[in-house]
A and B are shown apart, each in its own frame.
Chain A
Amino acid sequence: MNSIIRKISYYLPEKLLTNNHLEKRFPEWNAEKIENKTGIKGRHIANEDETALDFGLKVAVRLLQDYDKSKIDFLLFCTQSPDYYLPSGACILQDKLGLRTDIGAFDYNLGCSGYIYGLAMASSFIKSGIAQNVLLITSETYSKHINSKDKSNLTIFGDGASATIIEKSEKKGIHKFALGTDGSGSENLIVPNGGLRNRYNPDAELIDDGSGSYRTKNNLFMNGPEIFNFTIKAVPIVVNQCLKKNNTTIDDIDYVIFHQANKYIIDYLRKKLKIPQDKFCIDLEYTGNTVSTTIPIALKNAIENGSVKAGDRILLVGYGVGYSWGATIIEF
Chain B
Amino acid sequence: MKIELFLRKLEQALEIEDTKLNFDTNFKDIEEYDSFSVLSIIALIDEEFGEKISGLELNKISTVQELIDQIGVDHFE
- Which A residues lie at the B interface, using CB under 8 A? 37, 152, 210-211, 223-226, 228-229, 232-233, 264-265, 268, 272
Q: SS class of chain A's interface: helix, strand, loop or mixed? A: helix
- Which B residues lie at the A interface, using CB under 8 A? 34-36, 38-39, 42-43, 46-47, 52-55, 58-59
Which residues of chain A are near B47, meaning CB under 8 Å? 272
CB distance from B37 to the nearest CB of A (A): 10
Known: A232-B43, A232-B46, A272-B47. A226 touches B55 (CB 8 A): yes
Cross-chain pairs A/B with CB under 8 angstroms, 26 sampled = A37-B36, A211-B34, A211-B35, A223-B55, A224-B35, A224-B38, A224-B39, A224-B55, A225-B54, A225-B55, A225-B58, A226-B54, A228-B42, A229-B52, A229-B53, A229-B54, A229-B55, A232-B42, A232-B46, A233-B52, A264-B36, A264-B39, A265-B39, A268-B43, A272-B46, A272-B47
Which residues of chain B are near A225, meaning CB under 8 Å? 38-39, 42, 54-55, 58
Q: SS class of chain B's interface: helix, strand, loop or mixed? A: helix
For the complex, give the distance between the alpha carbons of A232 and B50 in Å.
Answer: 11
Which residues of chain A are near B35, meaning CB under 8 Å? 152, 211, 224
Which residues of chain B are near A37, meaning CB under 8 Å? 36
Which residues of chain B are near A265, meaning CB under 8 Å? 39
The 10 closest A-B pairs by CB, nearest first: A225-B55, A37-B36, A211-B35, A226-B55, A228-B39, A225-B38, A268-B43, A232-B46, A228-B42, A229-B52
Which residues of chain A are near B36, meaning CB under 8 Å? 37, 264
Which residues of chain A are near B39, meaning CB under 8 Å? 224-225, 228, 264-265
Which residues of chain B are near A211, meaning CB under 8 Å? 34-35
Closest to B36 in A: A37
Q: What's the count of A-B pairs with C-beta under 8 Å? A: 36
A229: which of B34, B42, B59 is its contact (CB, 8 Å)? B42
Closest to A210 in B: B59
Which residues of chain A are near B55, meaning CB under 8 Å? 223-226, 229
Closest to A269 in B: B43
Which residues of chain B are near A224, meaning CB under 8 Å? 35, 38-39, 55
For the complex, give the distance between the alpha carbons of A209 and B73 in Å.
Answer: 31
Which residues of chain B are near A228, meaning CB under 8 Å? 39, 42-43
Which residues of chain A are near B52, meaning CB under 8 Å? 229, 233
Which residues of chain A are near B53, meaning CB under 8 Å? 229
Closest to A211 in B: B35
Q: Contacts A211-B35, A264-B36, A272-B46 known; list 17 others, CB within 8 Å.
A: A210-B59, A224-B35, A224-B38, A225-B38, A225-B42, A225-B55, A225-B58, A226-B54, A226-B55, A229-B42, A229-B53, A229-B54, A229-B55, A232-B42, A232-B46, A265-B39, A268-B43
CB distance from A79 to the nearest CB of B (A): 27
CB distance from B26 to the nearest CB of A (A): 15
For the complex, give the distance between the alpha carbons of A224 and B43 in Å.
Answer: 13
Which residues of chain B are near A268, meaning CB under 8 Å? 43
Closest to A233 in B: B52
For the complex, give the distance between the alpha carbons of A268 and B59 in Å.
Answer: 22
Which residues of chain B are near A264, meaning CB under 8 Å? 36, 39
Closest to B55 in A: A225
CB distance from B77 to the nearest CB of A (A): 25
CB distance from B36 to the nearest CB of A (A): 5
